[in-house]
Amino acid sequence: MTDRAYEDGKLVIRRHYKSEREDVWDAITSPERLVRWFLPISGDLRPGGRYQLEGNAGGEVVRCERPSEIGLTWEMGGGVTEVVVRLEPNGDSTVLTLSHSPVPGELIPNASPTMWGLGAGWEMGLHALEDHLAGNLPEGAAKDWIATASPEDLMAAGVRAQQISDAWTEVLG
């Protein structure tokens, strides 16, 4: 289940995971696990340190409060925004809330069928996190198994991204 919100330039995504908070924390902060469902990361991953996601954004680790919150600057294309991920226990599950701001509303839906917006970009990653936590991803780095995905799997991902984009369009109303 995904909850979406956008208000005053802040994109907010909330998802429930059937995993303990410590496991979700480890999956989003450990380079060895992050590469499995998202992107390779390098740098000094402590508060005040700088990180770089391969082929994507980089920035500074602003705060890190294990196992509940991580805050980062998100530096890409000459712009600097803030990403905060919070984890809250919910019984034997975890609620992950990701906020990204400031984000202009026009960057959230897909720009075209081949160019995902921020909404689909973040949510596709969070779907992959769910698959990782459930043990449903192939071995190895996500970028490698995505590069060798079948045409059917790529088409299904494109359909999912468009559905997410359509849902964001409704939120932006």
**pLDDT tens by residue, 6-60:** 999 999 999 999 999 999 999 999 999 999 999 999 999 999 999 999 999 999 9
Q: Which residue type occupies 115? A: M
Tens-place pLDDT, residues 73-85: 999 999 999 999 9
Residue 36, CA distances (Å) to 30, 39, 56, 145 in order: 10, 7, 16, 9
**Region for residue 144 given its phi and psi (left: phi exceeds 0; alpha: psi -120 to 50; beta: otherwise):** alpha
pTM of the model: 0.94
Residue 133: pLDDT band with limits 50, 70, 90: very high
Sign of CA dihedral 165, 166, 171, 173: positive
Q: What is the residue whose two structure tokens read 């509303």?
A: 105
Q: What is the residue whose two structure tokens read 């990180």?
A: 51
